[in-house]
Amino acid sequence: MNKKYETEARERYGNTVAYREHTQKTKTYTKEKWSEINESLMSIFADFATCKANGLTATSPESQSLVAKLQNHITANYYTCTPEILAGLGKMYVCDERFKNNIDKYGNGTAEFASKAIAEFCREKEND
């Protein structure tokens, strides 16, 4: 993880269960492992861009499947991604320009599309 972002994350989330889990889970990750899981994460956003480009909606089964894949990826590689955390990430993907610009490199509006898909997914989870 980038040292600048690591410091920011520790300052913001250092007292949370998720941060402690992340620290424990990732402490043995090599540079190659970080690269692999980050590339895999970004490929999910590339798939969101493909859905958007193909005219699918954020509520389509394909888009919702990608949200589940994203949640599972985060849980498997970083920390337990609860629906509450996932909803917060979805908002951050559009509110934090760093995330928005990184995600939108796959296509303008990809971050907004993913955020809407995440919001719908989390709404559905609330109603279950």
- Tens of pLDDT, residue by residue over 58-117, are 999 999 999 999 999 999 999 999 999 999 999 999 999 999 999 999 999 999 999 999
What amino acid occupies position 33?
Answer: K
Number of other residues whose CB lies within 10 A of the CB of residue 10: 12
**Residue 22 binned pLDDT confidence (cut-offs 50, 70, 90):** confident
> Taking the domains of the chain in order of start, what are their residue ranges?
3-127
Higher pLDDT, 14 or 36: 36
> Do 69 and 124 form a contact (C-beta atoms < 8 A)?
no
User: Residue 21 is inside which H or E element, if any?
Assistant: helix 17-26
Q: Which tokens in the block code for residue 26?
A: 């990732």
pLDDT in tens, 23-59: 888 899 999 999 999 999 999 999 999 999 999 999 9
pTM (global) more than 0.85: yes
Q: Which tokens in the block code for residue 73?
A: 């990826």
The CATH fold assigned to 3-127 is: Globin-like (1.10.490)
Residue 81 neighbours by CB under 8 Å, 6+ apart: 70, 71, 72, 74, 75, 89
